[in-house]
Amino acid sequence: MKLNPILGLSPAALARCVPFALFMLMLALRGYLPSGAGVDARWIYGVSVLVVGGALVWYWRGYGELARQNLPSLRETLLSCAVGLLVFGLWIQLDAPWMQIGEPTASFLPLDLQGQKIWPLIALRLIGAALLVPIMEELFWRAFLMRWIESPQFETVDPQRVGVKAIVLSTFVFMLAHTLWLAAIVAGLAYAYLYRRTGKLWTAVIAHAVTNGALGIWVVQTGQWQFW
């Protein structure tokens, strides 16, 4: 396979890495906004949704895993929804201090000075978390990284033949990207299980979307903003 000179990655690898890298870069920018700049850093998330969404649209034709012929059956869809709800149920329970890595990150607080909810911010967060993030992250963590650990020619790797080493290592890296490390392990293994069992990335995307969507609704209803 001819490699792209950018970081030595193939065009297929870049298509799965660039949206994720852009998302992380945009979130990191929040910490570097100068004080007194008159910019509400919370809106950076909305900007990242537009930027990453544009990148996904740009590369969309290259995502064979998400092609129409790879859509899940009704049974697989129901299984994915059930797994997503199970992960959500566990995620909000696995938050004891020893289940966290480092200091908790600042939560996304969509409230004004009077403590009232800012619904445009909430809507952007829900849309990004439930629709964009699952596609972006599953393309990177499972479709790319998990298979790449098996072989640099990751596109030739059948997800149903991915070994334990690739699942464990990719889940470990996935865990490092989250404060709630134990919850992240549960989520990573659950989504990897769906992808390996069905061979269809959509099952992992759906489960991830259900988890994030349910978590977002629960956070808004309960005011447990630390989970955002």
- Tell me, what's the pLDDT at 108? 85
- Tell me, what's the pLDDT at 13? 96
Burial state string for 75-90 with b = 16 or more CB within 10 A and e = fewer than 16: ebbebbbebbebbbee
- Tell me, what's the pLDDT at 60? 97
- pLDDT, tens digit (0-9, with 9 covering 90-100), for 61-112: 999 999 999 999 999 999 999 999 999 999 999 999 999 987 656 678 999 9
**Which of 132, 160, 133 has the alpha carbon at shortest distance from 146?**
160
Instruction: Give every residue of the chain whose pLDDT is below 50, as ranges.
Output: 1-4
- Tell me, what's the pLDDT at 101? 87
Contacts of 112 (CB under 8 A, 6+ apart): 118
47, 26 Cβ separation under 8 angstroms: yes
Distance between CA atoms of 62 and 60, rounded to whole angstroms?
5
- Tell me, what's the pLDDT at 36? 55
